[in-house]
Chain A
Amino acid sequence: MRLGVKIAIAVVLIAAIVASIGAYVYIQNPRTKVNLIVATTTSLYDTGLEDGNTTTSLKSAFEAAYPDITVSFVAKGTGAAIAAAQAGDADMLLVHSPSQEITFLTGGFGVDRKIIAYNFFIIVGPSTDPANISGLSPTAAMKKIYDSAKTNTAIQWVARNDSSGTATKEISLWAKAVTTETYASFSTNTTWFICTGSGMGASLLVANQKNAYILSDLGTYLAHKGQGNIPQLTVLVQSNKDLLNVYSAIIDNPTNANLNSTHFAESLAFVTWLVSDAGQEIIGDYGVSTYGQALFNPFIPLASGSVNNATLLGWIKGAAYYNSTNQLDANGTECPSAYRYNATELYNHSWDTITVSGILQPPAVVQIGFSQSKVSATVNIVVKHKRSIDP
C-alpha cells in the first residue's frame, strides 16, 4: 500500500535521524563515568566558581584529577537545593545556610559536613547614597534605611525573600536592626520594600533599575559589576562580623533508606578534594584574574592557622559551628560526631576537636582509622567511651 509504505519510511527515517543524534550526544557523555550531582545555591553557582569556566572552575579541576567522576551542579534556591538532596535527587549539598544545614544533619539526611570557604555579604546601593549608610555597620545601616525611607521616596530596599541563604541572613540582620516592627510587617506593607522572590543576579538587576539598596553576596555582585550590568550600584557596607557568609558541603546520608541510591564514595572524594590544597587553591584564586579580587576565601588555611586571624576564625566558628545540642556555638565543631560517617580522613586535622561533653550520641559510627600515626588517638576514644561502638 503506497501510503502506508510512505508513512513507514518517513517514520523510520525520522527515528533514524533522532537516534543518530542521540548516539552522538551519548558518545559525548558516556555513562561509564559516575555522574555526581551536587545541589547548590544559585548565588554560589552564578559566580561561575562551580562550572562556569572551563579552566578555573571546580568542575574542570576536579574532573582532571578524578577522570572517572563527572560532577554536575544543579543550582536552585537553598531551600530547593536542600529539598532535592533530601529527596535523593542530588548526592550532596554545597550551600551557605548554617541554620538550615543543621536541620539537614539532624533530620538524618546528611553526613560529613565540611566548611569549604567564606566571604562577606555586602550592602550595595546607589552611589548617591540617599540614606547615607556608607561605612556604617550593617544593622546601623539597615536601621537608617528603615527610618529614612518613610520620608524619603528616593530610598528603596530590594530583598530576595526566597528562603535562600542570603535571604535568611538578611532577615536575621533586619531582626537585629529593627525591633519596633516585624519583618513580616514592613516587608509586605510598604512601598519602599521590594521583594523579588528571585535569585541574586535577578534581584541585583532590579536594585540597579530602581536605584535601591540590597544585600548581596560578593561573588554575584562582582560578576555582574564586571559585566557592566549594574552600573548604578556600589559597595557601601562590608566586612563585618554580621555579614559573614560561610559555604559548606554536606553529603547525603547513605544509611538513610530513602537515599541509598546516592553516590557516597564519589561525594566524599569531591569534598575531600575541596578541602585539599588543590581545591582550596582553586577556590582562593577564583575571580582574581577577571575581577581583580578573589570572590571567595578558602577556609582551611584560616582554620589550620597558616593564615593567622584568630578574630575572623572566631567569627566563623560562632556563625557556623555546632555544639552537642546542635546549637550554633564557637566552641563546637563544623560537624558533630553523630553526623560523621566513614570519613576519618576529613576530620583528622589537628584543629578538629570533637568536643562532645560526655557520651557519643547514637547512632554514632566511629570508624577506627588505619593510619599508623592515629592509632593511639583512636584507641583512647574506644577505651574511654565503651558504649555502642560498631566494630
Chain B
Amino acid sequence: MSDLFLDSLQQALNLIFSGNPEVYGIVYRTIYVTGLGTFLACLWSIPLAILIGLYSFKGRWVVRGFFNAFIGIPTVALGLFLYLLFSHQGILGSLDLLYTLNGIAIGQAVLETPIIVSFVSNALGTVDIQLRDLARTLGASGVRTDLAIMRETVWSLVLAIAAAFNRGFGELGIAALVGGGLFGMTRVLTTAITIETNFGHFSIALAYGIILMSIVLAITLTTNLVERLKREDFTLPKWNIRKSATGVHNNDHQSSA
C-alpha cells in the first residue's frame, strides 16, 4: 500500500512536470469550469444572501432552512436532475448544454448557491444591527447601507466563496453526469480520477487526486492567511523594533494572537 502511495506521488509529479497536454488540459478545464460556476453562483447568491440576511419577511426561517439543507445535496443526485433537464428530451434540451463545460459550470453554480447564500447571510446577520442605522443616519441609501454592512464582513464573504469553489472543484456527480468525462473535451479532475480508476490505472488516478487536493489546499490556506492578516484584531508582529528619534519604542502594535 505504501508502494502504491509513493508510486502515486511520483506519478503526480510526473504528470505535473511532464508537459503532457492532456493533464494540463484537465487541470485548466477544471479551473475554468469551477471558476465560471462560482462566478455565476455569486451573481445571484450574494443578492439573495443580502435579502435573507438583512431584511426580515414572513417565512424567512423557511427559506433559510431550505438553503441550509441543500448545502449537502449529493452531487450525483443533482447531476442526475440536471442531466434529465439538459437532455434533448428534457425541458432545457434545446440549449445543448449536455456534455459541455458550460453545462457543468451551470450545474456547479447551482451546487454552490446554498453554500454562498447560507454562509454570507449568516455572516451578515452577525453584524451589529446598529450599523445599519448608522449608515442610514449618515444619509446612505438602501443599497449603500447593504454594502456598508457587507464591507464589515467582507472576509467572511471571501471565505464563503473559497469554500464554494472548493466544493465545486472536487465534486464528481455533476462533472460525470452532465459532463460525461469526454476525453479532451469535458474531462475534469474528478472524472479523470474515476475513469483512470475504471481503467485500473490506480496510481494515475491517485495522482490526479493529489493534484486536486493540492490546489484546494493552496486556495484554502491562501485565503485563510490573507483573512488572518486583514482581521481587525490581528497585526503582524514587528520584526525589528524601531526606536523613534527620542529613543522611545513605538508600541502602537500588539503582538499577534
- Give Cα A201 to B147, complex, Å: 53
Residue from A14, A18, A52, A202 having most chain B Cβ neighbours under 10 A: A18
A21 touches B32 (CB 8 A): yes
B88 touches A261 (CB 8 A): yes
B185 touches A35 (CB 8 A): yes
Instruction: Provide the A63-100 mask, 1 if CB < 8 A to any CB of B, else 0.
Output: 00000001011110000000010011100000000000
Which residues B173-206 have CB closer than 8 A to chain A?
A: 180-185, 195, 197-202
Which residues of the partner chain A approach B39 to less than 8 Å between Cβ atoms? 14-15, 18
Is there a chain B Cβ closer than 8 Å to A285's Cβ? no
Closest chain B CB from A174 CB (angstroms): 25
Give the interface size class of chain B: 20 to 34
Q: A15-B39, A35-B185, A46-B198 are in contact. List 9 more A-B contacts (CB 8 A).
A: A4-B147, A22-B101, A28-B25, A45-B198, A72-B185, A74-B181, A89-B98, A226-B200, A258-B88
B88 touches A74 (CB 8 A): no
Number of residues from A at the complex interface, CB < 8 A: 42
Q: List 17 A-B contacts (CB under 8 A).
A: A4-B147, A14-B39, A17-B35, A21-B32, A25-B28, A28-B184, A46-B200, A52-B199, A72-B184, A72-B185, A74-B181, A75-B195, A84-B87, A88-B88, A88-B93, A201-B198, A258-B89
Q: Chain A: which residue is nearest B147 at the CB level?
A: A3
Is there a chain A Cβ closer than 8 Å to B160's Cβ? no
Which residues of the partner chain B approach A89 to less than 8 Å between Cβ atoms? 87-88, 98-99
Which residues of the partner chain A approach B64 to less than 8 Å between Cβ atoms? none
Which residues of the partner chain A approach B31 to less than 8 Å between Cβ atoms? 21
Residue from B35, B36, B151, B182 having most chain A Cβ neighbours under 10 A: B182
Secondary structure of the B contact surface, majority rule: helix
In the complex, the number of residue pairs spanning A and B with C-beta atoms less than 8 Å apart equals 91
Which residues of the partner chain A approach B200 to less than 8 Å between Cβ atoms? 46, 201, 223-224, 226-227, 229
Instruction: Provide the B83-100 mask, 1 if CB < 8 A to any CB of A, else 0.
Output: 000011100010000110
Q: Select B25's contact among A4, A25, A223, beta carbons within 8 Å.
A: A25
Is there a chain A Cβ closer than 8 Å to B132's Cβ? no
Instruction: Provide the A367-379 mask, 1 if CB < 8 A to any CB of B, else 0.
Output: 0000000000000
- Give Cα A14 to B184, complex, Å: 25
Which residues of the partner chain A approach B88 to less than 8 Å between Cβ atoms? 87-89, 258, 261
Instruction: Provide the B41-57 mask, 1 if CB < 8 A to any CB of A, else 0.
Output: 00000000000000000
A29 touches B184 (CB 8 A): yes
